[in-house]
Structure 1
Amino acid sequence: MTAVLPTLLAASLASFGLALLSEVAGFGGGVLLLPVFTALFGLRVAVPVLTLTQLSSNGARVWLNRRDLRWRLIGWFALGAVPFAVAGGLLLAHAPLAPLKRILGAFLIGVVVWRHLRRAPRAPAQRSFAVVGAVSGLGSALLGSVGPLTAPFFLALGLTRAAYIGTEAASSLTMHITKIATYGVGDLLTGQVLIFGVALTPATLLGAWVGKKVVGRISDRVFVLLVEIGLVAAGILFLLGL
């Protein structure tokens, strides 16, 4: 037990940072946290532990921004995310993750470049978020977190601050709940995973609360800039295979 405490302390500090970053930028903490958890727990434990951590982080973000949720958009996202999250969760033990990470990395960096080259990107139809949810559900179940993958689509609808953070978090929550159930079926949701997930919840909730205080102090322009910086950082991490 003594040897476990330093690991949990390091994971708690990282989880606090995850929740704070996710509350301010609306995404990204999970992508940055996955390499940390992998180093601490190993990949097969890291992915379900990360999912439990994101469950509390996203739940807190939904509650803190509940007045600005776009429910119809969340419904379209869930329509695609839920079945594909089930498929990804069942494939986790066998899928080749490294090539998929590099493809996602190139895509994320390309999205930021595209946003700056194209002056007036057309807003996607809300029903197209069923496709966004499907791709996100599959990728998230396999990689632990692909939050930056959805960011450009939510931004293209003009969502910022509370509407963006809360709606993106609620959409992600549908994936995480599905993944938890699927990991349980696939014997990945062990007692060790559950203990780590519960132990990291307080740090996650505190980070979300601090992040909520920070986000109200920044402008929409700075907010979008933070999101784009997060996209590029996540893309580089994926390309490096981290």
Structure 2
Amino acid sequence: MTVHQLAVLLAASGAAFVLALLSAVAGFGGGVLLLPVFTALFGLRVAVPMLTVTQLSSNGSRVWLNRRDLRWPLIGWFALGAVPSAVAGGLLLAHAPLGPLKRLLGVFLIGVVVWRRRTPHPRTPGDRAFTAVGAASGLGSALLGSVGPLTVPFFLAYGLTRAAYIGTEAAAALTMHLSKIAAYGAGDLLTSRVLLYGAALTPATLAGAWAGKRIVGRIGDRVFVILVEIGLVAAGVLFLIGM
């Protein structure tokens, strides 16, 4: 490994640690914030599948750390929509116009926070509604690497907080990421370089997930929701400016 490659790996590892820590605390957001970093280091077409490989360990560790609080029926309904749409999006990645889609998502995410503030007590969605949530998330995630904030208002409106929210959201996302991996492989995007760097970043993601788990147990539900909304606005701004 050259000095340049080692420097790139160290930079990516540091960013991956932050990804896992943020995701463990807020239940989302690390992938959205890490995508610009990976894009700068590796280019967008490599960054998206590499981010997915990295998120396997990040989400898997969050599922394990919160396994006692998982809501399995919700995960099943989400996967019913997420798996086929993630496969379709993964196959489209090589040809999709990503710029307009990212800006549309930015408007949506900021709008979600405004809506939540204007409607503090929204109607609780039913379990089956998460099939549609999963379908939209699967397609967007396959094209952009991560749209975790897209699911936030629905999981929060369902009443999940802290460990139940973090673990359930991570398990739902894991079904999506595994489907994307299969699609990227079929589309020749899952190269040896992607797999090598993804595996090398696994220790950093596991360490970040462990550190985040220790933090989230010390904050209240109100602070937790505020952190999530701050992350939504930050993700929306990043999408709008094209990062």
TM-score, with structure 1 as normaliser = 0.99
Matching residue's letter, 1:25 = A
Quote the Cα distance in structure 1 between the aligned partners of 2:105 and 2:21. 24
Quote the Cα distance in structure 2 between the aligned partners of 1:141 and 1:38. 15
Matching residue's letter, 1:75 = G
Residue 125 of structure 1: how far off its partner (Å)? 1.0
- Could you say which residue in structure 1 is the equivalent of 2:63? 62
- Could you say which residue in structure 1 is the equivalent of 2:188? 187
Paired residue secondary structure (1:126): coil
Calculate percent identity across the aligned residue pairs. Answer: 79
Kindly indicate whether residue 94 of structure 2 is the aligned counterpart of residue 102 of structure 1. no
Per-residue CA deviation, residues 23-58 of structure 1 (Å, 9 max, x unaligned), is 000000000000000000111110111001101000
Paired residue secondary structure (2:28): coil
Residue 163 of structure 1: how far off its partner (Å)? 0.1
Kindly indicate whether residue 201 of structure 2 is the aligned counterpart of residue 200 of structure 1. yes
Per-residue CA deviation, residues 61-90 of structure 1 (Å, 9 max, x unaligned), is 000000000000000000000000000000
Per-residue CA deviation, residues 164-193 of structure 1 (Å, 9 max, x unaligned), is 000000000000000011101100000000
Quote the Cα distance in structure 1 between the aligned partners of 2:134 and 2:128. 10
Kindly indicate whether residue 156 of structure 2 is the aligned counterpart of residue 155 of structure 1. yes
Residue 120 of structure 1: how far off its partner (Å)? 2.0
Matching residue's letter, 1:184 = G
Quote the Cα distance in structure 1 between the aligned partners of 2:105 and 2:206. 28
Paired residue secondary structure (2:40): helix
Quote the Cα distance in structure 2 between the aligned partners of 1:146 and 1:175. 11
Quote the Cα distance in structure 2 between the aligned partners of 1:120 and 1:203. 38
State which drifts further: 111-120 or 161-170.
111-120
Quote the Cα distance in structure 1 between the aligned partners of 2:56 and 2:199. 11
- Could you say which residue in structure 2 is the equivalent of 1:134? 135
- Could you say which residue in structure 1 is the equivalent of 2:23? 22
- Could you say which residue in structure 1 is the equivalent of 2:85? 84
Quote the Cα distance in structure 1 between the aligned partners of 2:217 and 2:149. 21
Matching residue's letter, 1:213 = R
Kindly indicate whether residue 52 of structure 2 is the aligned counterpart of residue 42 of structure 1. no
Kindly indicate whether residue 165 of structure 2 is the aligned counterpart of residue 164 of structure 1. yes
Kindly indicate whether residue 47 of structure 2 is the aligned counterpart of residue 33 of structure 1. no
Per-residue CA deviation, residues 193-239 of structure 1 (Å, 9 max, x unaligned), is 01000000000000000000000010100000000000000000011
| 1:213-232 pair list within 5 angstroms | 213-232=214-233
- Could you say which residue in structure 2 is the equivalent of 1:125? 126
- Taking only aligned residues, the RMSD between alpha carbons, in angstroms, comes to 0.5
Residue 118 of structure 1: how far off its partner (Å)? 1.5
Matching residue's letter, 2:81 = G
Paired residue secondary structure (1:218): coil
Quote the Cα distance in structure 1 between the aligned partners of 2:44 and 2:116. 33
Quote the Cα distance in structure 1 between the aligned partners of 2:155 and 2:108. 16
Q: Structure 2: state its 5+ residue gaps.
A: none
Quote the Cα distance in structure 2 between the aligned partners of 1:132 and 1:241. 24
- Could you say which residue in structure 2 is the equivalent of 1:52? 53
Per-residue CA deviation, residues 79-109 of structure 1 (Å, 9 max, x unaligned), is 0000000000000000000111111110110
TM-score, with structure 2 as normaliser = 0.99
- Could you say which residue in structure 1 is the equivalent of 2:116? 115
Residue 119 of structure 1: how far off its partner (Å)? 3.5
Quote the Cα distance in structure 2 between the aligned partners of 1:91 and 1:121. 34
Quote the Cα distance in structure 2 between the aligned partners of 1:50 and 1:210. 20
Quote the Cα distance in structure 2 between the aligned partners of 1:69 and 1:156. 16
- Could you say which residue in structure 1 is the equivalent of 2:236? 235
